[in-house]
Amino acid sequence: MGRDFSFAVQSIGMTSASIFIPALVLLCRAGLKIAIPTSVIIMAFNSMLDVLIKNLTTGMQPGLYEN
């Protein structure tokens, strides 16, 4: 279950730019100066949520972020 939920959160993060920017511009009549930073904040929040869920469910592999 943890992997499925983590994948769902990650998928939402990946598609948020293609969904939220047009939605904010067309539906909410927000300018691009507002829509783009708002979308970036939403993507950052989704990424942090995904890392948190990954740590709580399966954990990170040692050396995952090392080069």
Burial 23-42 (b: 16+ CB within 10 A, else e): ebeeeeeeeeeebbebbeeb
Could you report the per-residue pLDDT of 9-64, keeping only the tens digit for each?
Answer: 556 555 666 777 788 888 888 888 988 888 888 888 878 888 888 888 887 777 76
Total of domains in the chain: 1
Q: Is residue 33 part of a domain?
A: yes
Q: Is residue 66 part of a domain?
A: no
**Would the pTM count as exceeding 0.95?**
no
- The domain in which residue 51 lies consists of 2-57
Q: Is residue 9 part of a domain?
A: yes
Q: Is residue 52 part of a domain?
A: yes
Q: Is residue 15 part of a domain?
A: yes
